[in-house]
Amino acid sequence: MRRACFLTLLFLLAMLQYTPPTEAQILPDVEITCTPTEMEIDVSPLSDRTTVTECRAENPTIFVEDVIIQINAGGLSYSSPGEITVNGGSSTDFWVSFRGDASMEPQNLSVTLSYRVDTANGVQCITCTSKQITMSIAVDEFTATRNGTNATEETSMWSGSKLGEYFFFLNGFIIFPIIILALVGIAYAIVRRNNGAVGRA
């Protein structure tokens, strides 16, 4: 009887001395980080109008967790997994891309990535709460350029500089002297013809 009481006492003392290292190792949990969280989108016609952030989900527990991901893109189109699986004690990488529209005005947008552990080892997690990452995306002002000048400043071929360019050069040849010589030749031919007509008269 004394021996049984002694063993029971030892067992209780051992239980009292045991404390879990951290709560995260007992309850389902996940942490997601994304890099970068500040991005830019170029909406010019020659660009793909997209930007990408790389995210990592880390699972500090012993459970296999299914994590739900939701994106609020602030009006941008986006591509992201809706759910990922992260094994216990490991991590899973994924990417989120955002795409702007060609007609977008310059602006700064705030986007959010919300995530929550849905199941742990296939069991619905009723204690898991949603977490959130806030990111910012700057839509750059688009100014189209051509040969280092603003493309909206189109120059008519009939303007002074453009007309001079077409008048003096054609396919790499200087045509102004040729035109002058041609006119002189025509004038000379007309004068000779008129002189001949006068002589016959």
Q: What angle do CA 178, 182, 188 make, to 5 degrees?
A: 145
In a domain, 4, yes or no: no
In the chain, the amino acid numbered 57 is A
**163 and 124 inside one domain:** no
pLDDT for residue 39 is more than 80? yes
CATH code, domain carrying 91: 2.60.40.10
**108 and 168 inside one domain:** no
DSSP SS3 for 92:
strand
Please enumerate in sequence order all residues whose Cβ is within 8 A of that of 66, keeping only pairs 6 or more positions apart, or say none: 83, 84, 85, 117, 118, 119
**36 and 87 inside one domain:** yes
Phi and psi at residue 116, in whole multiples of 5°?
Answer: -155, 140
In a domain, 153, yes or no: no
**51 and 122 inside one domain:** yes
In a domain, 97, yes or no: yes
Mean pLDDT value across the chain:
78
Distance of alpha carbon 49 from alpha carbon 41, whole angstroms:
6
Where among 102, 121, 144 does a domain terminate? 144
Quickly state the pLDDT bin for 158 (edges 50, 70, 90).
very low
**127 and 36 inside one domain:** yes
**35 and 85 inside one domain:** yes
**64 and 107 inside one domain:** yes
In a domain, 191, yes or no: yes
Single out the residue of 136, 151, 146 nearest to residue 41, CA to CA: 136
What is the tens place of the pLDDT at every residue in 84-114?
Answer: 999 999 999 999 999 999 888 999 999 999 9
**195 and 128 inside one domain:** no
- Look up the domain containing 96 and give its range: 22-144
Residue 126: its pLDDT value, please? 93
With a pLDDT cut of 70, the percent of the chain lying above it is 66
In a domain, 74, yes or no: yes
In the chain, the amino acid numbered 97 is S
Residues paired with residue 85 on neighbouring β-strands, in sequence order: 66
**115 and 85 inside one domain:** yes
Distance separating the N- and C-terminal Cα atoms of the chain: 161
Neighbours of 132 (CB within 10 A): 12
Residue 193: its pLDDT value, please? 74
**55 and 82 inside one domain:** yes
pLDDT for residue 172 is more than 60? no
Mean pLDDT of the 174-201 span: 70
Query: How many domains does the chain fold into?
Result: 2
Quickly state the pLDDT bin for 197 (edges 50, 70, 90).
low
pLDDT for residue 150 is more than 50? no
Residue 175: its pLDDT value, please? 60
Residues paired with residue 97 on neighbouring β-strands, in sequence order: 52, 79
**Chain centroid to CA 22: how far?**
38
What is the tens place of the pLDDT at every residue in 9-23?
Answer: 434 444 434 444 444
With a pLDDT cut of 90, the percent of the chain lying above it is 50
* Contact in structure between 84 and 67 (CB atoms under 8 Å): yes
Where among 144, 169, 188 does a domain terminate? 144
* Contact in structure between 55 and 34 (CB atoms under 8 Å): yes
Quickly state the pLDDT bin for 182 (edges 50, 70, 90).
confident
| 171 or 121, which is more confident | 121
In a domain, 184, yes or no: yes
